[in-house]
Amino acid sequence: MLNFQGETADTVSDISADARKRLDNKTKPPGSLGQIEAVAVQLATVQGSVVPVVDPARIIVFAADHGITAAGVSAYPAEVTAQMMANFASGGAAVCVLGAAAGASLEVIDVGVNADLEQLTGVVHAKVRAGSRNLLEEAAMTHEELDSALQVGREAVVRAVEAGQKCLGLGEMGIGNTTSAAILTGLMCGASATEVTGRGTGLNNSQLSLKQRVVADAMQRHALLADDPLECLRNAGGLEIAALVGAMLEAPAHRLPVLVDGFIVTSAALIACRLKPSVRDVLFFAHQSAETGHALALRQLAAQPLLQLDMRLGEGSATALALPLLRGAAAVLCDMASFADAGVSTAE
Ligand SMILES: O=C(O)c1ccc[n+]([C@@H]2O[C@H](COP(=O)([O-])O)[C@@H](O)[C@H]2O)c1
Ligand SMILES: Cc1cc2nc[nH]c2cc1C
């Protein structure tokens, strides 16, 4: 079986085994760094090197609006997506300050915000359409729009690689997008609307019931498509979710580790991994969001989230917080002394 850039599965498992051996020779009882050791082995395997590199790192935020907001599925008005774009551009959003604190650069991409943002500097203008269509009435995207949005994601990864980035965090912004993410998660995991529908930005009980009905209706409408991840994405996704899928599909060819943020980015991961299983190898899951359905999606992907902080913001905020853990894992492989180096006795 060929993996990554034409390597055989044997080469990949050699690197994993070498990284594992290198960790076991470090001055610590085997396995004592817990999940950080698994992260270190995965980083080494993704990059094909037992001395992996995480910096420079970039967080990419894909933003778009959603026609489904007309159904009253969000606690916030749709205009907040555009308003937050200005906040990202001026450095005031959570991901701006958390990204800066983590030493990551930030790229914010308009894939489909329903406002003219051309005057906004510091944003990549790649609008495919001013918001996706109302998925209860018609497909959220045409085939052409889906292809364009996937391409926006692929190009963002190529741009990052050309700029020398060694690790990516993926985030999103889009009022209404937890509804799309819930439908995609339900279809990809074979779960019910109640299992995958949460309060998003903060719905009350009656609003949540309405959102559950919307998700159930959409899942019923699209049930026949469950075996066709791209059609699920086109019918029930959003432009930013499609761009996230495109970015994930591109990353393995560049051996680029990717930190996945919350529920919405994970719904893109469910689609991308179904389309191309090798995507799973490059994904690291920053946290378990408080949003209903995220734990289920993570389980489906056999993913162990790095953090559990009851966050449910999106934007890539958790990828900023998890980045130092990847850095730590790389530092253990690169810089820690072995028993032989340090003259420390091994176990009896
Ligand atoms: O990442 C998450 O797990 C997450 C959970 C709930 C909400 N969000 C963010 O909130 C917005 C979507 O929420 P909603 O209620 O409008 O569907 C969108 O901008 C997301 O970034 C994000
Ligand atoms: C204010 C606000 C900020 C966000 N960031 C990501 N999703 C968001 C949703 C809201 C409502």
Residues 6 or more apart in contact with residue 140 via CB below 8 angstroms: 66, 67, 68, 132, 133, 134, 180, 234, 235, 236, 237, 238
Q: In which element (H, E) is residue 268 found?
A: helix 263-275
Same domain, 246 and 321: yes
Quick one: pLDDT at residue 189? 97
Q: Is residue 3 part of a domain?
A: no
Note whether 184 and 237 are within 8 A (CB): yes
Cα(262)–Cα(256) distance, integer angstroms: 19
Count of domains for the chain: 2
Same domain, 146 and 210: yes
Same domain, 212 and 245: yes
The ligand placed nearest to the CA atom of residue 86 is 2
Same domain, 38 and 113: no
Same domain, 261 and 284: yes
Same domain, 134 and 274: yes
Residues 6 or more apart in contact with residue 145 via CB below 8 angstroms: 128, 129, 132, 239
Same domain, 132 and 179: yes
Q: Is residue 1 part of a domain?
A: no
Q: How far is the CA of 8 from the centre of ligand 1 (A)?
A: 39
Pocket of ligand 1 (CB under 6 A): 74-76, 172-179, 200-201, 261-264, 289, 291, 294, 312-315
Q: Is residue 184 part of a domain?
A: yes
Q: Which domain holds residue 230?
A: 57-325
CA 158 to chain centre: 17
Same domain, 75 and 117: yes
Positions of E strands within the chain = 2-3, 7-8, 57-64, 105-112, 124-125, 167-173, 258-260, 283-285
Q: How far is the CA of 178 from the centre of ligand 1 (A)?
A: 5
Pairing of strands 57-64, 167-173: parallel
pTM assigned to the model: 0.97
Q: Is residue 208 part of a domain?
A: yes
Same domain, 158 and 261: yes
The domain that holds 19 is classified in CATH as 1.10.1610.10
Pocket test for ligand 2, best of 65, 74, 76 (most atoms within 8 A of CB): 76
Q: How far is the CA of 80 from the centre of ligand 2 (A)?
A: 7
**Which of 164, 185, 168, 21 lies closest to 107 in space, CA to CA?**
168
Quick one: pLDDT at residue 222? 85
* Tokens representing residue 221 in the block: 């409408």
The domain that holds 78 is classified in CATH as 3.40.50.10210
The protein residue whose alpha carbon is closest to atom 11 in ligand 1 is 175
Same domain, 173 and 66: yes
Same domain, 289 and 193: yes
Q: Is residue 312 part of a domain?
A: yes
Ligand 1 atom nearest residue 314's Cα: 1
Q: How far is the CA of 313 from the centre of ligand 2 (A)?
A: 6
Q: Is residue 311 part of a domain?
A: yes
Q: Is residue 167 part of a domain?
A: yes
* Tokens representing residue 165 in the block: 């980035």
Which residues, given as ranges, of the chain have pLDDT below 50?
A: 1-5
Q: Is residue 348 part of a domain?
A: no
